[in-house]
């Protein structure tokens, strides 16, 4: 499959870097890590009226309860991104280990595990998540575990496909014929060759999970108030739209920008990797 | 490995096998859905009624939910009920789940169906046009648009559209209110914004994958042969590339149609559309288990059936399974 | 129709997107009805020139300089529409792999008739009738219904003929044939070659025949053009180049094929292993153990009744043979003969369905998972494609050193020394140890594979078509290396191949496989010279010789020269 020529590659150096998404990702990461020190106000602090317009004191105005919008965005970055990152880490650890083992062992083990996971895959993540959350509630550990487990099935499919494409190459057979153990084959022969596609998938999976967390929160089933979260911020401020106020668009745009930025970074990485 | 594939009769066998697999999947999923809500840790009754519940209330609820019976028996009861069209009663309202769910699910399907009707031809057309001139202006424009719409959550697009068309321009209603007395045109007007939102979301996914599938096929050696025979580019794309891209494109469409069925949940909440998605979200919030189970099963079943159809069509369309 | 040559190329240069010159200043001329052979190794630019004759450059490559005059029309000055009208109609292309060139979703007849109909030359009905005539003329089975099949239902040789018919369907003036018989078995090749020759001669079409096999090109080309790295090396009438090659490179190509001493100033005697006398039947014992007079087992590898089955198909049945220490046993067969299954079953990569393999008298378990580490060490397998046999994410030092580390527990300084030693043994610069496989050439990678196998200090080396993917001259060097190593280390080789010339020069004994069965076995000269088995005779007869007219002789010598493929293989490719 040939990649389409990237139009932004033709622009000048600075613009290219800016358009690459890397600076935005860095910015968000900074917000995640430095939130308590960088935010102008407290996460749940009431500072003004409802939906005040932007001013020098409040760069993005206030939200539906009179809290500073910018502060809420910064803390929201921390909460949403952390949750998404942890869920991605869980999904990846599970999915990759299982996928690699299945691909390397082959035979009935592979068939059994793959069938089971295919069935799990038949239910969309949102539906499964809704079912589980309706019973277990939506505390943070439950959210991370649920999303992580459900998304690990998608990661499994990719990891298994990648591993299978590597396993058929003769150097793996050469290692096995030597008498190397399974773990050695997985870690020293397969994994180094799988890093590029796995890294790309990690980025993409994070952006999917991030969107998913935001959507869950938007539906009122994710991160609970008063903790700031971009998804629930959209819901809380939704009514402002009827008055022509852009309040819910701030967190919504933030979500969009981060997702686009992460996707761009992944695209650039893939393009660089595929060059010989 | 032999590369002769089964002839005609083998195709029937493949389809039967796939359909069987679909059936098994449905049964297993129904079990999973049932047990997921029923066997998860924690006392269901206590979870439903909260810590303030009296022991009598708990006991009544437990009896009402047949929580005392062994799990397998409860599942069988439930499954038999489902097959007879009885999903139990809603815990919140006491009404039969089926009577609540059916009209709402019909609304959801209507919404998703409209979105599909618009997005599929659009995705195919734009994907084909983009593949005819890869790297050309249309292609690049389409790619950029795709990237943007894929990356944004559905509610972003929804609220943006509301802000634009409803509040600023006042052309369309912001709430998709449907009631019995409305004319067809009024109904259409009410659902326009939700449909557009859904279309935008799904179109990007479909378009991206259609384009990728076509470009993949266009890189095949037999396409080069066709070009070297002096055929027009249009002929090559339509007559040579498209039949081979049909299978992956159909898979993409089915995948995204399934996604439509799910994406519709968020859109329904944004526009307060009276569909099954909105219903399920409310039910989850109220811990109304029978309703949650029924909605979950309905959505899951739709998804499974769509994937099954996609696989069957892919089998039928696969050139390597044809015989003279 | 202008007077003068049909095709004239002047100063053609083609560059890749990264600026590498694939073709550099090539000029050639082709008269009407003439066949010009473009000969060279991979990367010589022959396909690129062939495609340029259609005004086409593959992928990101660009034609950067020169004129391409087809009957007076400069292809580089034509518009896209103009080029489109010429392609298929005045000049046509036959690809190397017919299986890849046909659209799997359309019937053969639709693709064959498409050209003439869309170029407005004839109606569909006429085109079909002509196609069926051609099917019949080229000996395709069931001509009236053959076209209704799909590509995957037809064998390789048949598909290649269909491809030629498709190319000729518009009656072009020029046909570009890009290695059309390379992917075919030797016995199939001879038929397809004959048919191509008939087809071209019959229509008076000019042809550019591209190949790396001098003997094959010699059968069909009137003139030759030798290429190397995109540049012209030598050109002239075929007989001239075969008999009196002027440049060293051309001489090397000719000598590699004929193995005959040439009337030229003496070359280094050792540079062509094929020029050496055939191996004697009994190997001269070279290892110290025998020299010291110790008792040595009669055979180091003993195979009895080996059988391999995939699903319900028998890939190999009842194979029995013995391999003595320091001996080379070649296993020869075409595609579907079971030779790869044999190699894999002996090494345990694929578990044998039946039979027994013994190494040094000790029976081995059918699958490698059950064999002891020592057993695995003593029998090493070298694969065909060095690109996939080496982990691209490991440096040469780890690749070659790992067996020494794994089997002998060598570490640190001792290990590094051993790696340098091994690299030197296979004729590589020890400094290469720090490199990645991607930085090495095909020949170098294959040497690394051999070094890796040697690191285990094995008794038996199973070589699975190790020279098949390499250019003839590089393959030559690898064979020399193997022979030298055998003399030095007393290795026994089980050498899998499909090339008779290799067998003749490197093997003490040979085993011929056909459809999973052993049809002949014994000392090389005897089996290949005197066997009574019909398949063996046919195999030997199908090996193209360098003299013109061989093709016609061989076909005339057949009982039925117009017969379709002599043997039907289930996986004929």
Q: With beta carbons less than 8 A apart as the criterion, state whether C512 and C521 touch.
A: yes
Residue B49: per-residue pLDDT: 64
Gap between the terminal Cα atoms of chain A: 15
Pairwise CB contact (< 8 Å): C148 & B324? yes
pLDDT digits (tens, 9 = 90+) for B22-48: 888 888 888 877 776 665 555 556 656
Q: What is the 3-state secondary structure (H, E, C) of C145-182?
A: HHCCCCHHHCCHHHHHHHHHHHHHCCCCCEEEEECCCC
Name the minimum distance, in Å, from the CA of B304 to any CA of chain A: 6
Q: Report the chain C residue with the minimal C-alpha distance to residue B242.
A: C105
Q: Report the chain A residue with the minimal C-alpha distance to residue C348.
A: A177
What residues of chain A lie within 8 A of the CB of B154, using their CB? Answer: 215
**Choice between A2 and C526, residue whose per-residue pLDDT is larger:** C526
CA distance to C45, C47, C190, C230, per residue, from C12 (Å) = 11, 13, 33, 10
Pairwise CB contact (< 8 Å): A193 & C390? no
Q: With beta carbons less than 8 A apart as the criterion, state whether A201 and A155 touch.
A: yes
Pairwise CB contact (< 8 Å): B2 & C148? no
Residue B6 reports pLDDT greater than 50: no
Query: What is the tally of helices (H) and strands (E) in chain C?
Result: 23, 20
With tokens 């699958």, the residue in question is: C367
Rg of chain A over all Cα atoms, to the nearest angstrom = 22
Pairwise CB contact (< 8 Å): B323 & C86? no
B321 CB within 8 Å of a chain C CB = no
CA–CA gap between residue C261 and residue C247 (Å, rounded):
16
Name the minimum distance, in Å, from the CA of C180 to any CA of chain B: 14
pTM: 0.80
Q: Report the chain C residue with the minimal C-alpha distance to residue B220.
A: C100
Phi, psi of C546 (to 5 degrees): -80, -5
pLDDT digits (tens, 9 = 90+) for A122-156: 888 888 888 888 777 778 898 999 999 999 998 99
Chains with at least 3 CB pairs less than 8 angstroms from chain C: A, B
Q: What is the largest CA-CA distance in chain C?
A: 82
Q: With beta carbons less than 8 A apart as the criterion, state whether C383 and C452 touch.
A: no
- Band the pLDDT of A257: cuts 50, 70, 90: confident
What residues of chain B lie within 8 A of the CB of A218, using their CB? Answer: 153, 155, 266, 269
Q: With beta carbons less than 8 A apart as the criterion, state whether B211 and A2 touch.
A: no
Gap between the terminal Cα atoms of chain C: 40
Q: Residue A102 has which token pair?
A: 């299945």
Which range among A40-54, C6-20, C33-47, C498-512 shows the weakest confidence by mean pLDDT? A40-54
Rg of chain B over all Cα atoms, to the nearest angstrom = 24
Residue C277 reports pLDDT greater than 60: no
Nearest to C150 among B229, B244, B324 (CB): B324
- Band the pLDDT of A11: cuts 50, 70, 90: very low
Residue C298: per-residue pLDDT: 78
CA–CA gap between residue C551 and residue C59 (Å, rounded):
36
Q: Is the peptide bond before A226 cis (omega within 30 degrees of 0)?
A: yes
Residue C167: per-residue pLDDT: 93
Q: Residue C568 has which token pair?
A: 């039907």
CA–CA gap between residue A255 and residue B150 (Å, rounded):
12
What residues of chain C lie within 8 A of the CB of A169, using their CB? Answer: 388
Mean pLDDT of A213-217: 89
Pairwise CB contact (< 8 Å): A192 & C373? no
Chains with at least 3 CB pairs less than 8 angstroms from chain A: B, C
Residue A113 reports pLDDT greater than 70: yes
Pairs of residues, one from chain A and one from chain C, whose beta carbons lie less than 8 Å apart: 44
pLDDT digits (tens, 9 = 90+) for B67-124: 666 667 777 777 777 777 777 767 667 677 788 888 889 888 888 888 988 998 998 8
In the three-class reduction of DSSP (H, G, I as helix; E, B as strand; rest coil), residue B117 is classed as: helix
**Choice between C117 and A17, residue whose per-residue pLDDT is larger:** C117
C95 CB within 8 Å of a chain B CB = yes
What residues of chain A lie within 8 A of the CB of B258, using their CB? Answer: 124
Helix ranges (H only) for C38-123 are: 46-52, 80-86, 98-101, 108-118
Pairwise CB contact (< 8 Å): B3 & C571? yes
Residue A9 reports pLDDT greater than 50: no
How many residues make up chain A in this entry?
276
Residue B2: per-residue pLDDT: 31
Strands annotated E in C278-417: 301-310, 313-323, 328-332, 354-359, 362-364, 379-382
Q: Report the chain A residue with the minimal C-alpha distance to residue B150.
A: A260
C88 CB within 8 Å of a chain B CB = yes
What residues of chain C lie within 8 A of the CB of B225, using their CB? Answer: 93, 95, 101-103
**B99: burial class by Cβ within 10 Å (0-12, 13-18, 19+)?**
exposed
Q: With beta carbons less than 8 A apart as the criterion, state whether B251 and B263 touch.
A: no
Q: With beta carbons less than 8 A apart as the criterion, state whether C262 and C251 touch.
A: yes
Q: Residue A119 has which token pair?
A: 């069935």
Closest CA to C350 of C300, C388, C315: C315
Q: Residue A30 has which token pair?
A: 């900074």
**C489: burial class by Cβ within 10 Å (0-12, 13-18, 19+)?**
middle
Name the minimum distance, in Å, from the CA of C190 to any CA of chain A: 32
Residue C476: per-residue pLDDT: 87
Percent of chain C with pLDDT over 70: 90
- Band the pLDDT of A173: cuts 50, 70, 90: very high
Mean pLDDT of A82-105: 93
B324 CB within 8 Å of a chain C CB = yes
Which range among A8-22, A90-104, B203-217, C330-344 shows the weakest confidence by mean pLDDT? A8-22
**Choice between B80 and B270, residue whose per-residue pLDDT is larger:** B270
Q: Residue B66 has which token pair?
A: 């047949």
Residue B274 reports pLDDT greater than 60: yes
Percent of chain B with pLDDT over 90: 4
CA–CA gap between residue B147 and residue B257 (Å, rounded):
19
Residue B64: per-residue pLDDT: 66
- Band the pLDDT of C275: cuts 50, 70, 90: very low
Q: Report the chain C residue with the minimal C-alpha distance to residue A191.
A: C393
B279 CB within 8 Å of a chain A CB = no
Pairwise CB contact (< 8 Å): B319 & C89? no
What residues of chain A lie within 8 A of the CB of C58, using their CB? Answer: none
Residue B315: per-residue pLDDT: 78
Phi, psi of C515 (to 5 degrees): 50, 40
Mean pLDDT of C283-312: 66
Sheet of C21-30, strand order: C21-30, C7-15, C62-70, C73-74
Residue B254: per-residue pLDDT: 78
Which range among B184-198, C145-159, C234-248, C400-414 shows the weakest confidence by mean pLDDT? B184-198
Residue C383: per-residue pLDDT: 93
- Band the pLDDT of A200: cuts 50, 70, 90: confident
Residue C553 reports pLDDT greater than 50: yes
Pairwise CB contact (< 8 Å): B153 & A211? yes
Pairwise CB contact (< 8 Å): B229 & C87? yes
Name the minimum distance, in Å, from the CA of A153 to any CA of chain C: 28
A36 CB within 8 Å of a chain C CB = no
Chains with at least 3 CB pairs less than 8 angstroms from chain B: A, C
Residue C285 reports pLDDT greater than 80: no
Nearest to A170 among C385, C394, C402 (CB): C385
Residue B51: per-residue pLDDT: 67
> What would the DSSP string read from start to end of C434-503?
GS-GGGS-HHHHHHHHHHHHHHT--SEEEEESTTTTS-HHHHHHHHHHHHHHHHHH--EEEEEES-HHHH
Residue C154 reports pLDDT greater than 70: yes
Residue B181: per-residue pLDDT: 62
Residue C246 reports pLDDT greater than 80: yes
How wide is the angle at C-alpha B120 spanned by C-alphas B116 and B121, nearest 5°? 125
Mean pLDDT of B297-316: 83
Nearest to A259 among B44, B151, B162 (CB): B151
Residue B180: per-residue pLDDT: 62
Which range among B68-72, B205-209, C207-211, C375-379 shows the weakest confidence by mean pLDDT? B68-72
Arithmetic mean of pLDDT over chain C: 85
Q: Residue A6 has which token pair?
A: 């990237």
Pairwise CB contact (< 8 Å): A215 & B162? no
pLDDT digits (tens, 9 = 90+) for C179-226: 988 888 888 888 888 888 888 888 889 999 999 888 888 889 999 999
Name the minimum distance, in Å, from the CA of C42 to any CA of chain B: 19
What residues of chain A lie within 8 A of the CB of C385, using their CB? Answer: 170
Which range among A16-25, A31-40, C313-322 shows the weakest confidence by mean pLDDT? A16-25
Name the minimum distance, in Å, from the CA of C348 to any CA of chain A: 8
pLDDT digits (tens, 9 = 90+) for C84-116: 999 999 999 999 888 889 998 899 999 999 999
**Choice between C532 and C485, residue whose per-residue pLDDT is larger:** C485
Mean pLDDT of C243-250: 89
In the three-class reduction of DSSP (H, G, I as helix; E, B as strand; rest coil), residue C244 is classed as: coil
Cα dihedral across residues B287, B293, B295, B296: positive or negative: positive
pLDDT digits (tens, 9 = 90+) for C122-149: 999 999 999 999 999 888 889 999 999 9
Residue B164 has, within 13 A of its CA and on its CB side, a CA count of: 10
Residue A265: per-residue pLDDT: 85
Binding-face residues of B in 173-212 toward A, CB within 8 A: 174, 212
What residues of chain C lie within 8 A of the CB of A171, using their CB? Answer: 388-391
What residues of chain A lie within 8 A of the CB of C456, using their CB? Answer: 178
B304 CB within 8 Å of a chain A CB = yes
Q: What is the 3-state secondary structure (H, E, C) of chain A?
A: CCCCCCHHHHCCHHHHHHHCCHHHHHHHHHHHHHHHHHCCCCCCCECCCCCCCCCCCCCCCECCCCEEHHHHHHHHHHHHHHHHHHHHHHHHHHHHHHHHHHHHHCHHHHHHHHHHHHHHHCCCHHHHHHHHHHHHCCCHHHHHHHHHHHHHHHHHHHHHHHHHHHHCCHHHHHHHHHCCCHHHHHHHHHHHHHHHHHHHHHHHHHHHHHHHHHHHHHCCCCCCCCCCCHHHHHHHCHHHHHHCCCCCHHHHHHHHHHHHHHHHHHHHHHHHHHCC
Name the minimum distance, in Å, from the CA of B324 to any CA of chain A: 30
What residues of chain A lie within 8 A of the CB of C389, using their CB? Answer: 170-171, 174
In the three-class reduction of DSSP (H, G, I as helix; E, B as strand; rest coil), residue C563 is classed as: coil
Please report which helix (H) or strand (E) contains residue B35, including its range: helix B8-38
B140 CB within 8 Å of a chain A CB = yes
Q: Report the chain A residue with the minimal C-alpha distance to residue C59.
A: A2
In the three-class reduction of DSSP (H, G, I as helix; E, B as strand; rest coil), residue C27 is classed as: strand
A9 CB within 8 Å of a chain C CB = no
CA–CA gap between residue A38 and residue A32 (Å, rounded):
10
Closest CA to A130 of B163, B36, C404, B218: B36
């Amino acid at each position: 499959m040939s990649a389409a020529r990237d139009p932004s590659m033709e622009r000048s150096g600075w613009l290219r870097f800016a358009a690459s998404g890397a600076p935005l990702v860095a910015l968000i990461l900074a917000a995640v890590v430095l939130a308590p020190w960088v935010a102008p106000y407290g996460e749940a602090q009431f500072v003004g009226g409802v939906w005040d317009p932007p001013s020098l004191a409040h760069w993005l105005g206030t939200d539906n309860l009179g809290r500073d919008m910018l502060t809420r965005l910064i803390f929201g970055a921390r909460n949403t991104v952390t949750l998404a990152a942890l869920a991605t880490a869980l999904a990846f650890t599970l999915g990759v280990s299982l996928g690699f083992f299945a691909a390397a062992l082959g035979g009935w083990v592979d068939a059994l595990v793959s069938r089971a996971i295919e069935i799990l895959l038949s239910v969309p993540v949102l539906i499964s998540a809704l079912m589980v959350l309706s019973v277990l509630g939506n505390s943070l550990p439950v959210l991370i575990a649920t999303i992580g487990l459900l998304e690990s099935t998608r990661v499994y499919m990719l990891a298994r496909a990648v591993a299978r494409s590597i396993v058929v190459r003769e150097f793996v057979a050469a290692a096995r014929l030597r008498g190397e153990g399974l773990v050695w084959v997985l870690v020293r022969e397969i994994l180094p060759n799988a890093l590029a596609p796995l890294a790309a998938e990690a980025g993409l999976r994070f952006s999917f999970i991030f969107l998913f967390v935001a959507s869950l929160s938007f539906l009122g089933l994710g991160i609970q108030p008063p903790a700031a979260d971009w998804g629930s911020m959209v819901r809380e401020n939704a009514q402002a739209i009827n008055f022509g106020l852009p309040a819910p668009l701030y967190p919504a745009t933030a979500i969009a920008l981060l997702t686009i930025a992460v996707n761009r970074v992944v695209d650039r990485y893939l393009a660089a990797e595929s060059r010989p | 490995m032999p590369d002769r594939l089964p002839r005609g009769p083998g195709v029937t066998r493949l389809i039967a096998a796939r359909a069987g697999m679909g059936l098994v999947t449905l049964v297993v999923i129904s079990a999973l859905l049932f047990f997921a809500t029923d066997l998860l840790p924690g006392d269901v009754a206590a979870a439903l009624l909260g810590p303030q519940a009296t022991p009598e209330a708990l006991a009544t609820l437990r009896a009402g939910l047949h929580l005392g019976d062994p799990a397998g028996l409860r599942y069988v009861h439930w499954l038999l009920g489902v097959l007879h069209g009885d999903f139990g009663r809603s815990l919140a309202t006491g009404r039969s789940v089926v009577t609540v769910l059916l009209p709402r699910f019909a609304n959801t399907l209507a919404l998703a169906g409209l979105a599909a009707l618009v997005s599929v031809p659009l995705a195919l057309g734009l994907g084909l046009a983009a593949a005819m001139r890869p790297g050309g202006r249309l292609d690049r424009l389409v790619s950029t648009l795709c990237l943007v719409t894929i990356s944004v959550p559905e509610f972003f697009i929804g609220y943006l559209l509301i802000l634009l068309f409803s509040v600023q321009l006042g052309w369309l209603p912001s709430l998709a209110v449907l009631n019995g007395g409305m004319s067809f045109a009024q109904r259409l007007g009410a659902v326009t914004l939700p449909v557009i939102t859904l279309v935008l979301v799904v179109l990007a996914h479909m378009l991206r994958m259609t384009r990728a599938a076509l470009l993949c096929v266009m890189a095949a050696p037999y396409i080069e042969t066709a070009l070297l025979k002096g055929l027009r580019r249009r002929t090559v794309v339509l007559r040579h590339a498209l039949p081979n891209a049909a299978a992956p494109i159909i898979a993409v469409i089915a995948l995204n149609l399934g996604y439509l069925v799910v994406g519709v949940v968020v859109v329904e909440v944004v526009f307060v559309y009276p569909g099954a998605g909105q219903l399920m979200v409310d039910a989850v919030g109220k811990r109304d288990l029978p309703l949650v189970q029924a909605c979950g099963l309905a959505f899951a079943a739709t998804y499974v059936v769509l994937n099954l159809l996609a696989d069957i069509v892919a089998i039928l369309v696969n050139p390597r399974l044809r015989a003279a | 129709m202008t007077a003068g040559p049909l095709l004239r190329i002047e100063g053609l240069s083609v560059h890749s997107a990264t600026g590498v010159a694939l073709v550099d200043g090539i000029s050639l001329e082709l008269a009407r009805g003439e066949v010009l052979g473009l000969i060279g190794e991979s990367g010589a630019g022959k396909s690129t020139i062939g495609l340029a004759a259609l005004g086409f450059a593959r992928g990101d490559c660009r034609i950067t300089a020169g004129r391409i005059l087809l009957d007076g029309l400069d292809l580089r000055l034509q518009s896209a529409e103009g080029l489109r009208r010429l392609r298929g109609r005045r000049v046509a292309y036959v690809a190397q792999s017919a299986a890849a060139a046909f659209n799997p979703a359309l019937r053969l007849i639709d693709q064959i008739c498409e050209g003439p109909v869309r170029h407005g030359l004839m109606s569909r009905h006429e085109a079909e009738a002509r196609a069926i005539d051609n099917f019949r003329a080229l000996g395709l089975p069931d001509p009236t219904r053959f076209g209704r099949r799909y590509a995957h239902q037809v064998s390789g040789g048949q598909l290649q003929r269909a491809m030629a018919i498709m190319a000729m369907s518009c009656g072009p003036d020029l046909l570009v044939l890009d290695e059309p018989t390379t992917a075919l078995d030797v016995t199939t090749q001879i038929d397809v070659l004959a048919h191509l020759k008939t087809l071209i001669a019959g229509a008076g079409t000019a042809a550019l025949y591209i190949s790396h096999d001098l003997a094959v090109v010699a059968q069909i080309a009137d003139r030759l053009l030798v290429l190397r790295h995109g540049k012209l090396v030598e050109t002239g009438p075929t007989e001239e180049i075969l008999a009196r090659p002027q440049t060293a490179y051309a001489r090397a190509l000719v000598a590699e094929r004929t193995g005959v001493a040439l009337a030229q100033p003496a070359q280094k005697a050792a540079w062509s292993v094929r020029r050496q006398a055939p191996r004697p039947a009994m190997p001269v014992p070279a290892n110290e153990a025998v020299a010291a007079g110790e008792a040595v087992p009669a055979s180091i590898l003993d195979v009895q009744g080996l059988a391999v089955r995939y699903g319900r198909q028998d890939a190999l049945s009842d194979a029995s043979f013995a391999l003595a220490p320091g001996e080379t046993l070649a296993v020869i067969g075409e595609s579907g003969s079971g030779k790869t299954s044999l190699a894999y079953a002996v090494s345990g990569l694929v578990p044998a369905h039946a039979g027994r393999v013994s190494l040094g008298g000790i029976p081995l378990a059918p699958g490698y998972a059950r064999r002891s580490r020592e057993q695995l060490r003593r029998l090493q397998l070298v694969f065909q494609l060095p690109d996939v046999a080496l982990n691209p994410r490991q440096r040469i030092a780890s690749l070659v050193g790992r067996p020494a580390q794994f089997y002998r527990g060598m570490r640190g300084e001792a290990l590094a020394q051993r790696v340098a030693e091994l690299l030197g043994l296979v004729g590589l610069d020890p400094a290469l140890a720090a490199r990645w496989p991607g930085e090495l050439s095909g020949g170098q990678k294959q040497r690394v594979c051999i070094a890796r196998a040697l690191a285990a200090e094995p008794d038996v080396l199973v070589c699975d078509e190790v020279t098949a993917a390499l250019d003839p001259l590089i393959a030559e060097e690898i064979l020399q290396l193997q022979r030298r190593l055998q003399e030095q280390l007393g290795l026994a080789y089980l050498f899998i191949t499909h090339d008779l010339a290799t067998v003749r020069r490197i093997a003490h004994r040979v085993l011929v496989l056909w459809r999973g069965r052993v049809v002949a076995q014994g000392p090389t000269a005897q089996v290949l010279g005197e066997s009574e088995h019909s398949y063996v005779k046919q195999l030997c007869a199908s090996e193209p010789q360098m003299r013109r007219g061989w093709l016609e002789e061989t076909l005339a010598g057949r009982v039925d020269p117009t017969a379709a493929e002599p043997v039907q293989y289930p996986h004929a490719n």
